[in-house]
Structure 1
Amino acid sequence: MDDAVDRDGGEADERAVDDFAGWVFDRFLGGMETLSIHIGSALGLYAALRDAPATASELAARAGIDRRYAREWLEQQATAGILAADSRSDEVTFHLPPAQAEVLTDRTSLGYAAPLARMFATVALRLPDLMDAYRAGGGVPWAAFGAGMRDSQGDINRPWFERMLAEALASVPQVHEVLSRSDAGIADVACGHGWSTIALARAYPDALIDGYDIDAPAIEAAREHAADLENVTFSELRGEQLADEGEDRYDAAFVFEALHDLPDPVAVLSSIRRAVRDDGVVVIMDEAVAETFSPPGDEVERVMYAYSLLICLPDSMSTPDSVATGTVMRRATLEGYARDAGFSGVSILPIDGFSAFRFFLLER
């Protein structure tokens, strides 16, 4: 695609135009097929195909949808390479291959990606609001995106927290030792659906973990998810208010993939610093973006800017006087926030391969 960009601002050649037009078409096709995945996931069509192949008539009966739409969706999915089709009988039979089944239906798999399609569809519904925000300033708050955004965010991160977080934290002695203290107090700020909080509670059963978020439906969902755990509580609370719960109350505090969303990250980090004991730890998990802006970027940079344009920056800017960080919070930006909040610096923890995230330790 780089060849299609005329860096000198002159007239582009015909091949460059064709290449870039093709690049745009590929994105259009991908977007349309992403919406088809959302239809299949939201209507339970993949789940209906997971255990047994089906004809259009059989899928319509299993999933409770119209037969004509069932046929068109099945044929489109097979054409896209998502489903396999067997046309040896009078009516074509479709089945969901194992890899696709895991990616589209297994909520415990690290490869589970169906929530991304729901997130994409949710953003598309808010485009008029986003356009208004771009013209006039302001933003689109997280709550305006509704359950589609809240649930897809929780679902896409859930397997990483459930399967990988305990191992990741245990691999860092400085952090693991603090979390292993008897009756250690741990705060999970901006916890969302609570999967990170729950993972901490299961990994450190002797600890007492408090999950906080300002989104009431997320807190309600988190409480349901943690119904079998006795060492977890969830409360509605802004990160800026954490120290109001008691200074030096906690041995550790975490902010998982949320600091860049907060309108006043310095105030939040300052409150966390006061709430955590001097011999405790403060860990921020955020996006593993590059150190500097150096276009063109890799896929991580590209997806993080896409999140920022459509979700995170508008959410942050919906609060007056927001610092408007955006999803692409580079290390220098985090270091500036940390120092302004009273920390001495920031170091990167040796945790690799945790999706597209990076773990930072805030130093006293």
Structure 2
Amino acid sequence: MGRFAADYGAVLHAPLVVLGEQLGLYRALAMRPMSPAELARETGTTERYVAEWLAANAASGYVEYDADTSRFHMTEEQVAALADANSPTYISGAFLVGMAMFRDVSHIAEVFRSGEGFGWHEHDHSLFVGTAKFFRANYIANLLSSWIPALAGTQQKLEAGARVADIGCGHGASTVLMAKTFPRSTFHGFDYHPESIEAARHAAEDAGVEARTSFETAPAKAFPGNGYSLVTFFDCLHDMGDPETVLRHTLGALEPEGVCMIVEPFANDSLSENLNPVGRIFYSASTMICTPASKADDKGLALGAQAGEARIRALATSAGFTRFRRAAETPFNLVYEARP
């Protein structure tokens, strides 16, 4: 019952986090301590609703309450997690992903019975937005500081000028981040979801890198172009129905000394080793999103979000890559380097 109380409180609080992000409540409260009335005036909302929202957030540990002044405030850590969209620990997008999972329960129940798939494009729109926001924070934290530097010689190529393909780019968070950092290189994002490609183009324009980026609707196993110095897969290879064919096509698209970077959710190779809080997150998301997406694609291998290094290595080797290693890791991701 103790576990239930904590979990149920978190589930019920999730929509309040989404409200706080959408209404700008966290961003406003991050500026200074406020009473419910002051926060309501600052955000153009109603005091009574804001008062209840603040109480729930204080009980959840997402904001702080000062009983002496009857005002609420946010700590530096709370601001980084909930109010600063450019923070490497910004988590609000994760709750949008959770909302999409709830909204799609009836669809997933049907595929449980039929054994069919449910494509990424079929999910509620909040999944696409939430994934972009949540994953962007992870890329801000790790992509430039540790993941790319871990690929031997790759950062130097990008600094000098290279051609990069970002497969399964979604809203382009990873593509745009790399384009902003390496102005001499060109970046090509591919995704089979037209709505995401359109969002990626807007993101590139907003970031001022549209001249060095292109985004195109294309399947992962047939994305166009060749001679790429770097091909990236950010948290998406396991979602694909036929990842071996995808990797074989990738091998043909690389230049002779090119590299394929595969970023996957952190997972050990055995189920028992993944029965922990991180595994809980990934197995749950995989049940609702990753496995159905793969089942909806050709072959439907359904690796799941906890595939583990041995299975990814076997796929890369079968596809023709001769060199494969774990290049980097975080508590939430494993980064693999595959070379011809």
TM-score normalised over the length of structure 1: 0.85
Match of 2:33 among 50, 53, 60: 53
Structure 1 match to 2:194: 216
Provide the secondary structure at the position in 2 that maps to 1:170: coil
Match of 2:163 among 176, 182, 185: 185
Deviation per CA, 1:34-55: give whole Å up to 9, x if none. Answer: 3322222223221232223333
Structure 1 match to 2:61: 81
Q: CA deviation at 1:330?
A: 1.3
> d(CA) in 2 for partners of 1:216 and 1:286?
23
> d(CA) in 2 for partners of 1:81 and 1:204?
39
C-alpha root-mean-square deviation of aligned residues, in Å? 2.2
Structure 2 match to 1:309: 287
* Matched letter for residue 257 of structure 2: D
Deviation per CA, 1:188-231: give whole Å up to 9, x if none. Answer: 11111212112222333222211111122221221122221222
Structure 2 match to 1:9: none
Structure 1 match to 2:322: 344
Q: CA deviation at 1:258?
A: 0.7
Q: CA deviation at 1:165?
A: 1.7
> Within the alignment, does 1:236 sit opposite 2:220 as a pair?
no
Structure 2 match to 1:14: none
Instruction: List alignment gaps of at least 5 residues for structure 1.
Output: 1-20
Q: CA deviation at 1:260?
A: 0.5
Answer yes or no: is the 8 Å Cα contact 2:88–2:139 preserved in 1: no
Provide the secondary structure at the position in 2 that maps to 1:210: strand
Alignment of 1:46-195 (within 5 A): 46-88=26-68, 92-168=70-146, 169-180=148-159, 182-195=160-173
Provide the secondary structure at the position in 2 that maps to 1:71: helix
Q: CA deviation at 1:271?
A: 0.9
> d(CA) in 1 for partners of 2:77 and 2:284?
27
Provide the secondary structure at the position in 2 that maps to 1:282: strand
Match of 1:279 among 242, 254, 257: 257
Match of 1:357 among 326, 333, 339: 333
Structure 2 match to 1:7: none
> d(CA) in 1 for partners of 2:329 and 2:264?
13
> d(CA) in 2 for partners of 1:167 and 1:66?
42
Instruction: Rate the CA distance shift 1:70–1:348 in 2: closer, same or farther, 3 A.
Output: same
> d(CA) in 2 for partners of 1:296 and 1:334?
16
Q: CA deviation at 1:275?
A: 0.8
Instruction: Rate the CA distance shift 1:171–1:331 in 2: closer, same or farther, 3 A.
Output: closer
Identity %: 25
> Within the alignment, does 1:41 sit opposite 2:29 as a pair?
no
Q: CA deviation at 1:327?
A: 0.8
Answer yes or no: is the 8 Å Cα contact 2:27–2:84 preserved in 1: no
Structure 1 match to 2:239: 261
> Within the alignment, does 1:26 sit opposite 2:6 as a pair?
yes
Larger Rg: 1
* Matched letter for residue 174 of structure 1: G
Instruction: List alignment gaps of at least 5 residues for structure 2.
Output: none
Answer yes or no: is the 8 Å Cα contact 1:178–1:280 preserved in 2: no
Answer yes or no: is the 8 Å Cα contact 2:168–2:191 preserved in 1: yes
Q: CA deviation at 1:340?
A: 2.5
Larger deviation: 207-216 or 34-43? 34-43
Answer yes or no: is the 8 Å Cα contact 1:317–1:324 preserved in 2: yes
Provide the secondary structure at the position in 1 that maps to 2:145: helix
> d(CA) in 2 for partners of 1:249 and 1:295?
39
> d(CA) in 2 for partners of 1:343 and 1:88?
64
Answer yes or no: is the 8 Å Cα contact 2:168–2:189 preserved in 1: yes
Answer yes or no: is the 8 Å Cα contact 2:81–2:91 preserved in 1: yes
